[in-house]
Amino acid sequence: MSTDEEEYRGPATLRLDDGPIAVEVRMSAHFEPVEGRFRWAGRTGPDDTLRERVGGGLRKAAIVITRDDADIETPVKLSEPDPWGGVRISGTGTPPWFGRTA
């Protein structure tokens, strides 16, 4: 896992309607001052099951990242599979790897 707060590399779980899929992800975030919120995006490592589901039209899921012994679940958009067998992912708001805020 990267320690740079604007980037996350490591394990995650994608929660789909029919169950979870464990994946490795690479994601980065940036703050959009005009919108007043973060935008974050990245990709999963190769996963045949996820690739098939996204190729079949799946576009929404939840991503779960464990930080400080807490599971952080955040809605995520899924895009077309990439040439390396992964899937592009994106979201808005507080990035899931930032952890919970008080």
Domains parsed from the chain with CATH numbers: 7-95 (2.40.10)
pLDDT at 102 over 80: no
Q: pTM for the full model? A: 0.86
3-state secondary structure 35-88: CCEEEEEEEECCCHHHHHHHHCCCCEEEEEEEECCEEEEEEEEEEEECCCCCEE
Query: Quick one: average pLDDT of 86-90?
Result: 97
pLDDT in tens, 46-61: 999 999 999 999 999 9
Share of the chain above pLDDT 90, in %: 75
Per-residue confidence (pLDDT) for residue 100, from 0 to 100 = 63
Token output for 8: 């996350």
